[in-house]
Amino acid sequence: MKNAIELHGVSKKFNKLSGQRNTIKDIVTTPTPAASKEKWVLRDIELEIPKGTSLALIGKNGSGKSTLLKLISRILHPTSGRVKVEGKVATLLELGAGFHADFTGRENIYFNGSVLGFTRKEIQEKMDSIIAFSELGEDIDRLVRSYSTGMYMRLGFSVAIHMTPDILLIDEVLAVGDHEFQKKCINAILRLKSAGTTIVFVSHAGEQAKIICDLAIWLEDGRIKLSGPTRDVVMAYEQSAAAHDYLAEYYYRMGCRSQQQKDFEKALQFFDQSLDKGYNEFSVKILRSSVYLELGMQEEASEDAVRCLETAPQGTDMESVVQHVHFINSKRHVEWVRSARTKLFHNTTTEPAFLIIGTQKGGTTSLYHDLTQNPNIKSAAVKEVHFFDEQYHFGYDWYKKNFPPDLPEGSITGEASPYYLFHPQTPGRVREWLPDVKLIALLRNPIHRAYSHYQMMVRRGLEPMSFPEALQAERSRVEGEYDRMSRDPRFTSQNCSIYSYLKRGLYAEQLERWYRYFPKDQILVMSSETLFRNPAESYRKVLAFLDMPLWEPGGYASLNEGENDRLIPKDTMEWLRNYYTEPNRRLFELIGEAYAWD
C-alpha cells in the first residue's frame, strides 16, 4: 500500500470500575467488583498517513493522543475499526517503556534491537554509535533502574533512531533532557525525515511540531477536530480556549526558556519543578524575579534580576536578559508600581511620541535602554508591545494602557517593537492611529543581522539547521506567507517571524512601504554600527530628532552580540555579499547615505 499507516473507523474504550478495590482486604471483603463504566478515549478515527509523511498529533491532556499512538504501535488494540501499519516501527512512548529495569543500558540495547528484529551481530555493529549518541559514557553499563528520566530518554532515543525504522512514533519524550540534547534529537529526527521515515510526533503544540512535521491533527475529546498544515493547525489550537489552561505545561515540556503565568502560586510551583528537572539558573531566575515583583517584593525582584544578569551562562540571549532586568528595575519602587497598576490598566489616555520600528538584532534594546534612562522619557510597560503587528486585535484602547498615565509636562514615552519595520500591515496601522508619531529605524549590516538572528533562533531551540542550510531553506519555509500577511490583516506567520533571515535585510523595500505613509523627515534612519561604535553620538542624534533637551546618562548600554562573521563559511559569506549588493545599493540611494557594510 502507498500509506504507511491507515486507521478506518477506529474507536477505543476503557472500562473503569465504579468502585475501588485497591488492596487485598478490598478484594476479600468485596469479591464482586462494582459495575464498570465505559470511557471512550477515541471515536471514529479515519486517518491515512502516506509513507514519508511527518505528522504532529496535538491536543490537551486526555484528548487521546497517546492512545492513538499506542494503537498504531500495536501496544493496544482498537475496540472497533481497523489499524493497518506497513514497515518496521520504532516507538518512544513513556520513559522507560521497553526497558528491563534489571538489565544494564548495554543489555537493553540488545534487548530492544532484538524486539525490532535485528540480529545480535547487527546490533553489535551499531553499538558504539548508539552509546556515543546517547552520551551516557560509563553509565551504559549501569542497571537502568538507577537512570534518571533524562538518561532514559537519551538511551531510548538513541536506540530508536539507530535501528533505521520505517516508522518512528514519538510521544513527548523530547520534553525532558537538557536543551542541547533536545536540539541534537531534533536534528536526528530531521535526518530520518529526509531519508523517507514516516514520523508521528505527539505534542501539546508548538514550535518543535512545526519544525519537525509538515501536517498536524488536533484531537479533542477523542475526535479529530482539525487537520491540515502544521502551522495552521497549531495556530488554531493555540488561539482556542481549550489550549489556554495547557500552555504553561506545554512551554515547560517543549523546552522553551520562559513561561508566562498569571497565577503566581502556580508559577512558584513551576519554578520548583524547573529546578527539579534540571533547568538552568538563568531561565529560572527570570521567572522567579517576575513572580517576586507581582507579589509586591520589589527589592527581591530587583536583586534577583541583577543576579540573573550576572550569572547568565555563556550563549544566553543577552538582549532578552537585559530587557527583563531593565523592566524589573523600572518597577522596583512600590509607589510607581501601584500607580501604574492602578491607572495603567484603566483610564490612561497616554499615546507614544516615538516608535523604534527595527530592525531586529539591530540594537533596538540598547537604544531603548539608553533613552529611558532619561528622566523625561518614560518606558512603556514592556519594551516591545507589538500592537501594530501581532496584537492589533486587542484594539487601540488596550494599546494605550501599556503607557504610563499622567506624564509630567515635557515628558514623553514610546516603545520599541523591531518587527514593525518588517511587517507589511504596520505602516498603515500606525498612520491611522499615530499620524504624528516619530519613527526610528536602526539598520544593521544585513549579513551580520541575518547571522545574529540565526544564532538567536538556535539558542531558542527553533532552528535545527546549519546557517547555510537555513538560508537555502528560507524560501520554502516562508513562501507565500509574507504576501498573505499583506493581503489578510488577520493572518500571522510564525515562519516569517522565525526564519526570515534574508528577507529582513531587504531594507529598501521595507522603508519604501513606510515612506508611502510618512514623510522622510518623520523617520530617523541610522546604522546600527554607528550606535555600537559611538552610542553617545547616536543618543544625542535621537534626542535632537525627538526635540528633547540634552541629558547625558551615566553610561551607555552595550548589548551588541558581536558580528562573528568569521564563523560564517567563506562561500556562504561570498554568496551573501552578492545577494545583498543590489538591495543595499537601492537602500543607499533611497536614504541618501551609504553605510560601510563591505
Conformational region of residue 386, where left means phi above 0, alpha means psi within -120 to 50, and beta covers everything else: left
Structural domains of the chain ordered from first start? 3-242 (3.40.50.300), 257-328 (no CATH), 346-591 (3.40.50.300)
Q: What is the DSSP string of 257-301?
A: S----S-HHHHHHHHHHHHHTT--HHHHHHHHHHHHHHTT-HHHH
Grid cell 493497518 is found at 84
Torsion of CA 24, 25, 30, 35, to 10 degrees: -50
216/181 Cα distance (integer angstroms): 24
- Give me the tens of pLDDT residue by residue for the chain, a chain 598 residues long: 589 999 999 999 887 554 444 443 444 445 555 555 678 999 999 999 999 999 999 888 788 888 998 899 888 899 999 999 998 888 877 555 567 777 898 988 888 777 767 788 888 888 988 898 888 888 999 888 888 777 877 888 888 888 888 999 988 666 555 566 777 788 788 888 888 899 999 876 466 788 888 899 999 889 999 988 888 888 788 767 444 444 433 333 333 334 444 454 555 565 556 555 554 444 444 555 666 665 556 666 776 666 666 555 555 555 556 656 666 665 544 333 222 222 333 456 789 999 999 898 898 988 988 898 888 998 887 778 889 998 888 789 888 888 887 788 899 999 999 999 999 999 999 999 999 999 999 999 999 999 989 987 776 667 888 899 999 999 988 888 889 999 988 888 878 888 999 999 999 999 999 999 999 999 999 999 999 889 889 999 999 999 999 887 766 665 544 456 678 899 999 999 999 999 999 999 999 999 999 7
CA distance 28 to 132: 52
Minimal CA–CA distance to 47: which of 75, 78, 25, 19?
78
- In whole angstroms, give the CA distance from residue 123 to residue 258: 40
Q: Where are the alpha helices (DSSP H) in 135-196?
A: 149-162, 179-194
Predicted TM-score of the model (pTM): 0.50
DSSP letter for 65, please: H
Q: DSSP readout, 431-445?
A: HHH-TT-EEEEEE--
Beta partners for 442? 526
